């Protein structure tokens, strides 16, 4: 606690970078996962699951340092970390996003069609709102993991909260490491709670008429 009080501005700065390195992958990854999940033809779903499942299993440090060989980025620095985290978010959210769209009842879509809604309108006004609970559930898992995994980026020279682990270990200050663990935990849990709230607010209609989708 003493260490944290003396160094809180330093920790706050790292937390800000940590968030900025994590937010892009979460937003971009979630968007791409939703798009991929929506457009994948049914017969490709299972192969896609297999491939993404394998990608999701790749240890983060290994993925960070494999990217330069594949796409020619620098070995160290934030680019690989941001790309790798985006890939994880896609791989992690694809499953839940696909299920979320799949669970939208067919009759509801048919109803909308018969009301003369265009496919664009159906997507934005029927399918997407109904898929929100599933999408948010998947996003919550992906977001919390991203915040936590981003810390490993410190090993390849990204200055974020993970730096507290490396610096604390070098200087033998357990409080510094524990501060890092707690800071990441608090950010991840806050983000999780925030997303839960957003999901709740976006789906208020659900609680008026029905209990479960």
Partner 1 sequence: MLDLTELGAWFSDPENWAGRYGLWNLVAEHLTLTFVAIVVAAIVAVPLGVAIGHLGRGEFFVVGLGSASRAIPTMGLLFALVLVMGVQFRELSVVLALSAIALPPLVAGAYSGVTTIPPWIRDSATAQGMTAWQLVRHVELPLAAASIIGGFRIAYIQVVSTVVLAPLVGLGGVGFGIIQGLALRNFSQVTASSIVIIVITVAGDRLIGLSQKFLSDRLGKPKPLETS
Partner 2 sequence: MKLTRIAAVAASIGLILGVAGCAPSAVPSSEPIVIGSQAYYSNEIIAEAYALVLEDAGFTVERKFSLGQRDVYVPAIVAGEIDLFPEYTGNLLQFFVPTATETAAEDVYAALATSLPEGLTALAMSPASDQDSYNVTQEFASANGVESIADLASLADITLGGAPELAERPYGPTGLLAMYGVTVSFEATGDTTVESLVAGIVDMANVYSADPRIQQLGLVTLSDPLGLFLASNVVPIASEAVNADARALIDAVSAAMSAADLVALNVRSVDEKLSAAVIAREWLVSEGLLD
Contact footprint for partner 1 (CB under 8 A): 53-54, 57-63, 65-66, 68-72, 75-76, 141, 144-145, 147-149, 151-152, 154-156, 161-162, 164-166, 168-169, 172, 174, 177-178, 180-181, 184-185, 188-189, 192
Q: For residues 155 and 158, give the distance between their C-alpha atoms in angstroms, rounded to a whole number.
A: 7
- If the CB atoms of residues 169 and 205 are measured against partner 2, the closer one turns out to be 169
Q: For the chain, give me the number of helices (H) and strands (E)?
A: 10, 0
Residue 162 near residue 173 (C-beta atoms within 8 A): no
Q: CA-based angle 40:42:46, to the nearest 5?
A: 90
Residues 6 or more apart from 212 whose CB is under 8 A from it? Answer: none
156 phi/psi in degrees, rounded to 5: -105, 30
Taking CB under 8 A as the rule, which mask of x and - marks residues 1-20 in contact with partner 2?
A: -xx--xx--x----------
Q: Does 178 participate in binding partner 2 (rule CB under 8 A)?
A: no
Among positions 129, 157, 178, 203, the unique one binding partner 2 when judged by CB under 8 A: 157
Any contact of residue 64 with partner 2 (CB under 8 A)? Answer: no
The nearer residue to partner 1, 69 or 208, going by C-beta atoms, is: 69
* Whole-angstrom distance, CA of residue 142 vs CA of residue 64: 18
Provide the binding-site residues for partner 2, judged by CB under 8 A.
Answer: 2-3, 6-7, 10, 74-77, 154, 156-159, 163, 166-167, 169-173, 175-176
């Amino acid at each position: 606690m003493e260490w944290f009080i003396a160094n809180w501005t330093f920790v706050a700065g790292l937390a800000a970078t940590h968030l900025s390195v994590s937010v892009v992958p979460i937003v971009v990854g979630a968007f791409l996962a939703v798009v991929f999940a929506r457009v994948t033809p049914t017969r490709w779903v299972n192969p896609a699951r297999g491939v993404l499942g394998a990608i999701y299993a790749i240890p983060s440090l290994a993925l960070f340092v494999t990217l330069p060989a594949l796409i020619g980025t620098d070995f160290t620095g934030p680019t690989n970390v941001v790309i790798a985290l985006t890939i994880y978010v896609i791989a992690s959210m694809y499953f839940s996003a696909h299920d979320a769209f799949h669970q939208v009842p067919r009759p509801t879509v048919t109803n909308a069609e018969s009301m003369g809604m265009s496919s664009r309108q159906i997507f934005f006004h029927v399918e997407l709102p109904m898929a929100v609970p599933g999408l948010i559930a998947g996003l919550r898992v992906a977001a919390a993991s991203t915040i936590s995994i981003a810390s490993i980026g410190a090993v390849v020279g990204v200055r974020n909260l993970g730096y507290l682990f490396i610096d604390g270990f070098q200087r033998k200050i357990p409080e510094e490491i524990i501060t890092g663990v707690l800071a990441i935990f608090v950010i991840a849990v806050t983000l999780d709670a925030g997303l839960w709230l957003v999901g709740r607010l976006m789906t208020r209609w659900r609680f008026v008429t029905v209990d479960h989708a």
